[in-house]
Structure formats: structure tokens, C-alpha cells
Amino acid sequence: MSGMKTFVMPDRRSFLKTAGAAITASLAAPYIARAQEKILYVNTWGGPWETAAKTHLIDPFTAETGIQVKTVSPVSFAKLAQQVKTGTYEFDVTTLGGGELIRANQAGIIEDLTAPYEGGLFENGVASHAFATVLAWRTDKFREAPKTWADFWNVEKFPGGRSLQRYASRVVPIALLADGVAVKDLYPLDVDRAFKSLDKIKAHVRVWWTAGAQSTQILRDGEVDMIGIWHGRYFEAEKAGAPVAMTWDQGEIERAYWVVAKDTPNLENARMFVEFATSAKPLAGFSKAADYGPLNPASNEFVSADEAKRMPTSPQNYPHTFEQDMANFGIDPAELAERFEEWVAS
């Protein structure tokens, strides 16, 4: 039996027809439109994320379809926008969080998609997996464990260097929780209040991390004492033997979505890959390998209760977390991102 949180009703329709044949010779990226290639370029986060994707999504997709997949990393919204504008593509498929997904769809830089399972489509992104930004810390620094984002902001009780992701739509809700806003009252976001809260912690944020591997490294190496970090990257530091701990309390769950770059020359291959990558068994394998929570409910059949323990969507973890509410965000994500970048740089 599954140990997972059910988000939407399952849909068991078949996901893919066998396709593809021989593979053309390898070609260097970036590439100009070559519409007839049996090849696909997938943008990944690199590291353990890519390892899990290659094992459970990419290699099985190639075996099923005969379509060769090459990976390009790291994930970059700016590159997605640039390649659509120039027509010079480095990748055909990528993943986006909810905030960037809305921006991409509004900007017209991603293709129209259909839902491969019931309830799986949002803003032309297909929901893949859930991850969480959690509060983690060095156990060799603090005798008493911090429990909430208010503790993260409490530099008198918990002195030391902090780190947060340089990503507005994830940091702003956390800043409001730190300022005492209840989860039920979080959305729509009170942006002015959030920035006042951020002003209080800014001087203590030593690193605004921008890549997952960077967040693991600075926690593992003790460059910072407390951090807002993706739960999967936290487990990397823990596995490496670092003296670290984390809490699921007030963990911020976000959904990751597969999208297809607008006007990609490999459109049909890209659509097939998205459908395959969000189908039940491949997605379950990927999620288990990377400690994510699969968002296709049919995947739950392939996830045991024990395997779900490290996933934010498990029955024991999910009640301690909250989900981003992009449909009731309260501000255009692009406008928020611009204001946040100006604030960080000021």
C-alpha cells in the first residue's frame, strides 16, 4: 500500500506508444533547429537529481522509444527564454517551479501541453514531483534545536550565519511565517510585510545560494550554521556525515513541472518524454531515488510506506508542511522576482 499523500484522482490510461528508430550521430549543443532528429535534449539539475532521472526516466525512455536523450545542466529560466527568442536551442525540455512556470506561460516561451493524467496540468506544465524547502542546521553549533522560521530569524537566541535561496517565491512566504503569519492566512501574500521581515534577517544571511549543490556544500562544510534548503539536498549533507539536523515543521512544499520549450524542433519527442516521465512507474522510481513525492497518484502503488518516510508528501510529514498557493499568490511572480532581486542587491 502507498504511503503517499494523494493530490488528485488517478487516471490509468496508457501513456505512450512505441516510437522512434535508429539514432542519428551525436551533435554538440547548442544546436539550430533540426526537426527530423530522433534525439532529445533535456535540461536537468545535475548531480543526484540527474542520476535519478537518468536511471528511472531517461534510459527507460530511450529503451522504449529509440529516442536518444542528452542532458544539459543546470536548469536556467534565463536560458529557456533566450533560446526561444533566438531560435538556438540548448534543450527541448526542462522543469520549473510554480512561480517560474507562471512567468514562462505568461511570456509564451513554453508549448501547450495536455494532461497525461487527471489533474496533472497547470499553466502548461505537467506536475511531476513535490519537494520541500526545510529548515536545517549544524548540530555542533546549536544545543537547542530551532523549530520554526521565527527561530531562524531569532539571531539572539540562535546566533550564527544564515543562508537562504535567492528565489523570491520561496523566500517571501518563509519571511511571513517568521513574522508570525499563520499558514492559513499566508495567501494572498502580504508582500510589503514580507520585505520588512526580510530586512530583519538580511545582515545575517552570509550566502544567498543559487544552486542545490552549493546549498549542500555550505551546510556540510560549516560555512553557515542554519539554512533554508531543499530536503533532498539536506539528505546529501546528512549522508556525507556532516553534523546536521532538519525539521519538517513549516517546510514549504513546491511542485515541479515538466515543460517544453516553445517552437523546439523536437516537439513531438519532447511531448512524449514529458508523458513518459510523469507516468506511474517511472515517476515513482525517480521520486524514490531522489526522495521526492510523486504527483501522479497512480505512482503511489509503487511507493511503500517505508520508502515514503523521506518524502514531503508522506502521511507523517505532509501535515507539518504547507504548499505554495500559486493560484492565490497575490502578486505577479515576475514582479515579485524583480523586487526581490533589487532588494538583495541594495
Residue 112: phi and psi, rounded to 5, are -70, 135
Kindly tell me the burial class for residue 346, based on how many C-beta atoms sit within 10 Å of its own C-beta (0-12, 13-18, 19 or more).
exposed
CATH code for the domain of 79: 3.40.190.10
Q: What is the DSSP string of 174-205?
A: HHHHHTT--GGG-SS--HHHHHHHHHHHGGGE
Instruction: Tell me, yes or no, whether 47 and 85 share the same domain.
Output: yes
Do 105 and 148 share a structural domain? no
Verify that 45 and 167 share a domain, yes or no.
no
pTM for the whole structure? 0.78
Number of domains in the chain: 2
DSSP state for residue 211 in the 8-state scheme: S
Instruction: Report strand pairing: 226-230 vs 162-165.
Output: parallel
For residues 242 and 264, state if they share a domain.
no
User: Per residue of the chain (346 residues), what is the pLDDT tens digit?
Assistant: 344 444 432 332 332 322 232 222 233 334 444 444 689 999 998 888 999 999 999 999 999 999 999 999 989 899 999 999 999 999 999 999 888 899 899 999 999 999 999 999 999 999 999 999 999 999 999 989 999 999 999 999 999 999 999 999 999 999 999 999 999 999 999 999 999 999 999 999 999 999 888 999 999 999 999 999 999 999 999 999 999 999 999 999 999 999 999 999 999 999 999 999 999 999 999 999 998 999 999 999 999 989 999 999 898 999 999 999 988 999 998 899 999 999 999 9
**Residue 203 per-residue DSSP state:** G
Closest CA to 226 of 341, 134, 318: 134
**Assigned domain for 21 exists:** no
- DSSP 3-state of 281: helix
Alpha-carbon distance values, 34 to 20, 24, 89, 149, 267 (Å)? 16, 11, 10, 49, 11
Q: Domain limits at 219?
A: 132-251+331-345
